[in-house]
Structure 1
Amino acid sequence: MAARKLRTVLVITAVFIFIIHWSFFRSSSLRPLSAVGNTEVAKPGCPTSPLLGDVLVVLRTGATEAREKLPVHFETVLTCIPNYVIYSDFTEDIAGHHLLDVLDGAVDEKLRQSNPDFELYNKLRASGRDGLEYQTSFGSGSGGATDNPGWKLDKWKFMPMVERALSHRPDAKWFVFVEGDTYLVWQNMLEWLSKFDHRQPHYLGKHMYIGDKVTQKWRENKAEIEAYTAQEWAGDMVLGKPDHNGLERVQAGARAVVLPPATFHHMNRVEYEALWAFEQHWLRDHQSGSSFPRFRDMFKAVVLPQLRPRRDSWDNMAAGTQYSTELLADLSDADRNALSLAERQALISFEHCRRACESKPDCIQFSFSQGRCTTSKELRLGHTADSPCLEYSNAASKCLRPAAYRENSLGSSPDFIQAGWMMDRIANYVERLDNSCGHIEKEWLV
């Protein structure tokens, strides 16, 4: 087993490019591969594929988030996946599904007792969920600040997770790794994998790299890898530590809008259910199984209907040019005079912010919050204003609150942040997307 290559590892972290903020052990045993076979008749609303019985989906979670994030998986996508296992940092049952402690016996005992990253884990082992304090119940993914106890513990699960998955299902052709806030587009994943040779070592995912013979490297270099893990903030960086010679890395490029997505990351329950409903309609309308949903299809069905000239209590995550009293004060006289009247008045009100956006030909959306206007040429949907924080910033995945959240109490005004989209420009934008598809309409990224 040590010399056997891990044929495929998928570390799925792709994010919907339009930003809608954008698997598990049943009972005590996973349904055997032989009982599934390659000709299983799929359930209503589920895709069919010769690969159905050859893929092991592995969900990584943690005690601080499992009860919140897992139920929607059990109610939706996992009903279509015949082989999955759930790895956590605590052995328990949730809604009749068994979670395994992937760290049990996988980490050096001295390290576990001495490294503060394991404080949460040691409490779980000693007292179970009764040992959890409110301060530790922030989740290990969404809201994953680097000082979050669940987040710090999460990075230690990656290498043991890969080894356990391989030992658990050595005859699987593919291993798909997802997180608690990942939506898996199962029909697209199966079709995508069918285009690769499972006998070759592939690493398919985003950004982070992985090496050949991962489990062998883990077993032979545990002390070195554990030392590296202690220094890093994210587990996928640890997973990518071994050399990646001979492995294939696949990432989406500018053509992503017409490509079939395999996953969406940083999803909340509402977004998860919206995509599941979309997929159910798609499967009913395309029963031949020869057509697969693409980013464009999902955007038109899920995102576009939610865009409007004004949405109160909504943060569309506009990222671009900001206008506020303090920012304008920091400008030089020359730069301030170079602004148009609409830009200088943008911070006054929602309507003034709209006019500032209208004055810029490439502005497609904007947001306003008590003396602060942000205009943007990037199209985003965003989330309700009562969301506690942005999922992740670009700075080491720290959970951040935008200025509107820091400066206002959520209870002070239901409309402290408002969003708007330039609907006429969005119509033109969508038309340009459609016209750009052309010859790549049926492409897959391989």
Structure 2
Amino acid sequence: MPHFTPTRALVVLTSFVLLGFLWTRGLPHQYAGPALPALTHLAEPVVDNVGNGGKEHGKGTSTPPKTKIAPVPTKAADVSSEKSCKEARGAQHVMVVVRTSRAGVESGLPPHLLKLLACAHHVLIFSDHAGETNGYPIHDALHLTPNTTMAKHAEFVEYDKMQADKNHKPTLDKANALDKWKWLPMVYTTATIAPNHRFYMFVEPDTSLSWTNLLQWLDRLDYRIPYYSGVPNTVDDTRYAQHGPGIMLSYGALQQYWPRYEELYASDWEPQVATACCGDVVLARAMKQAQIEFYSSFGLLDPEMPSNLIWGQKFWCTPVVSWHHLPRADADLLWDTQEAWARKHGWAKPWTHHDAYETFVKEQLAEQKEDWDNVSSDTQLVADKGRRERLTHQKQPTNATPHGSKDTQAPSNPAKRDEALDTLVQAAADSPASCRAMCLQTDDCLQWKHNTAGDGTCHLGKALRLGGKVATPDKAARWTSGWMLDRVGRLAEEWGRCERVEWKFNQ
């Protein structure tokens, strides 16, 4: 038998092709998951420097301490509803950091925030002065700012007055001018005096947190990953986390932040603060230079109140971790609702936007509400100038559907159908009833609002929003709003009861 046959030649050729492919593409392998940063050490806590008027950055940095952080948590069974908020799973690993001002704490912290702080094992409060409020010490966030910097910027005149006179209370505007200077040293001081916590939630006095949802969210994350997370916004080319709904930083993030702060604050970061609009924007730039990635938590953290939020399917089954700018009554209602929820369901069942809709919105929707603006804004129909005066000299049109009626059948003849629609459009701004009739005849309209100013305006909305009461001392410019309750009800049913919760993160 010959040594070289066509079959053997084919085998040899196939082998060379396969070897060439493997040489080019590499051998098959399992792709690795994202690498976790090494757990290095943080700077020695500088507790004695807080509020002592020190003015130097990066001077006298102490040796790193030994960290005492437990391993990454694993998911556990539901925590009993009999547990208190302080005993809830993960509570001992979270530091709540509050940023405020003397003007902001003049009458003490708001009740909803005091209830939150009572649940937290670890609390830090930073302001533009050192002192105390509601039994909590207040740390001066500006104590590291050099005297030379203060001398250059007019906003520090108020700071000097507060240092000289403990009873001096700046106006809210003057206090707000100092806010942007607080962020960078506040985060640095937090890292140095409280280095060994897994997560840090930075909030404002008007931030409303769901404690149970916050703990459940953080329990899903690895604290060693450098997380810088919040509701995204953009200024120029900087994508940053808005401070109002809260900013979450992980242990891994603070570990990378503090050495870069010591290295870059005086030479690079501080000049940026001077020209920046806001402290949270400068914080984002500092995080980027510290190689800490931004993670969007929009949907979990809400920059709007329930009344301003657009309610829809996208975040319907997403848990609510925070709101911003809640009125006092709503903030108290949120906390009371969350307490009742935890008593009933325990500390491992999240409270979703669907539940928030049931609590804050559903019962306030109506066929018609006087002196109410529901923020309908998709279509605006403005009456022709002089229409109201002309109508007073002739019989009112009767095409408007009466208030409370159901959808009416359109004429079968296309020409008559178009004529009827044109008549509805022309009359839409005449009255609340005619505006509602226009919404009824618009398939995707969920709500409407009418204003009597001028010759009248009708606004139609295909997005579901609640809005709020408006003062109308001038009856010539009165708002009336309404919702298509049948359509809204059908949509809410379609969106579901949220048997499966969606923890949308960094999407």
Fold agreement, TM-score > 0.5: yes
| 1:360 maps to which of 442, 447, 457 | 442
TM-superposed deviation, 1:282: 0.9
| 1:377 maps to which of 462, 479, 494 | 462
Deviations 1:358-409 (A, max 9, x none): 23222222333332433222222223325xxxxxxxxxxxxxxxxxxxxxxx
- Aligned residue type for 1:85: L
Structure 2 SS opposite 1:70: coil
Other-structure match for 1:432: 494
Asked whether the 8 Å contact 1:313–1:414 carries over to 2, the reply is no
CA distance in 1 between counterparts of 2:177 and 2:293 reads 28
Asked whether the 8 Å contact 2:383–2:426 carries over to 1, the reply is no
Deviations 1:218-274 (A, max 9, x none): 222223212212222222111100326463614347742212121112222122112
TM-superposed deviation, 1:79: 2.7
Structure 1 SS opposite 2:452: coil
Asked whether the 8 Å contact 2:85–2:119 carries over to 1, the reply is yes
The correspondence of residues 341-352 of structure 1 with structure 2, limited to 5 A, is 341-352=423-434
TM-superposed deviation, 1:203: 1.8
The answer to which of 122-131 and 93-102 deviates more is 122-131
TM-superposed deviation, 1:193: 1.0
CA distance in 1 between counterparts of 2:340 and 2:386 reads 49
Deviations 1:89-133 (A, max 9, x none): 233433434333211x2223232232234344344334455453x
Deviations 1:299-323 (A, max 9, x none): 1222211222223333323332234
- Aligned residue type for 2:260: K
Other-structure match for 1:270: 329
The correspondence of residues 206-285 of structure 1 with structure 2, limited to 5 A, is 206-207=231-232, 208=240, 213-223=256-266, 224-242=268-286, 243=288, 245=291, 247=293, 249-252=295-298, 255-285=314-344
Gaps of 5+ in 2: 1-39, 44-49, 51-67, 74-78, 233-239, 242-248, 300-312, 388-418
So what's the TM-score if we normalise by structure 1? 0.71
Asked whether the 8 Å contact 1:206–1:251 carries over to 2, the reply is yes
Indicate how the Cα distance of structure 1 residues 320 and 93 shifts in structure 2: closer, same or farther if over 3 A, else same. farther
- Aligned residue type for 1:228: Q
| 2:483 maps to which of 404, 421, 429 | 421
- Aligned residue type for 2:293: L
- Aligned residue type for 1:114: K
Asked whether the 8 Å contact 1:62–1:89 carries over to 2, the reply is yes
The structure showing larger relative contact order (alpha-carbon pairs under 8 Å, at least 6 residues apart) is: 1
**Alignment pair present for 1:303 and 2:361:** yes
Asked whether the 8 Å contact 1:182–1:266 carries over to 2, the reply is yes
CA distance in 2 between counterparts of 1:327 and 1:426 reads 34
So what's the TM-score if we normalise by structure 2? 0.63
Deviations 1:171-197 (A, max 9, x none): 211111111221111111111111112
Structure 2 SS opposite 1:73: helix
Indicate how the Cα distance of structure 1 residues 182 and 362 shifts in structure 2: closer, same or farther if over 3 A, else same. same
Indicate how the Cα distance of structure 1 residues 241 and 248 shifts in structure 2: closer, same or farther if over 3 A, else same. closer
CA distance in 2 between counterparts of 1:343 and 1:4 reads 69
Asked whether the 8 Å contact 2:319–2:351 carries over to 1, the reply is yes
Indicate how the Cα distance of structure 1 residues 197 and 424 shifts in structure 2: closer, same or farther if over 3 A, else same. same
| 2:97 maps to which of 44, 58, 61 | 58
Indicate how the Cα distance of structure 1 residues 429 and 130 shifts in structure 2: closer, same or farther if over 3 A, else same. same
TM-superposed deviation, 1:325: 5.6
| 1:86 maps to which of 125, 140, 147 | 125
Indicate how the Cα distance of structure 1 residues 375 and 116 shifts in structure 2: closer, same or farther if over 3 A, else same. farther
Asked whether the 8 Å contact 2:81–2:343 carries over to 1, the reply is no
Superposed CA RMSD in Å reads 3.6
Indicate how the Cα distance of structure 1 residues 65 and 131 shifts in structure 2: closer, same or farther if over 3 A, else same. closer
**Alignment pair present for 1:322 and 2:380:** yes
CA distance in 1 between counterparts of 2:127 and 2:117 reads 17
CA distance in 1 between counterparts of 2:197 and 2:265 reads 25
Structure 1 SS opposite 2:206: coil
The correspondence of residues 162-201 of structure 1 with structure 2, limited to 5 A, is 162-201=187-226
TM-superposed deviation, 1:415: 8.7
Indicate how the Cα distance of structure 1 residues 166 and 73 shifts in structure 2: closer, same or farther if over 3 A, else same. farther
CA distance in 2 between counterparts of 1:312 and 1:68 reads 35
Structure 1 SS opposite 2:326: coil
Gaps of 5+ in 1: 7-24, 26-33, 138-147, 330-336, 387-409
CA distance in 2 between counterparts of 1:327 and 1:225 reads 56
TM-superposed deviation, 1:277: 2.0
CA distance in 1 between counterparts of 2:339 and 2:134 reads 23
Deviations 1:141-169 (A, max 9, x none): xxxxxxx4443322221111111211221
Identity of aligned residues (%): 27
Report the structure number with the largest CA radius of gyration: 2
Structure 2 SS opposite 1:366: strand
CA distance in 2 between counterparts of 1:419 and 1:66 reads 37
Structure 2 SS opposite 1:240: helix
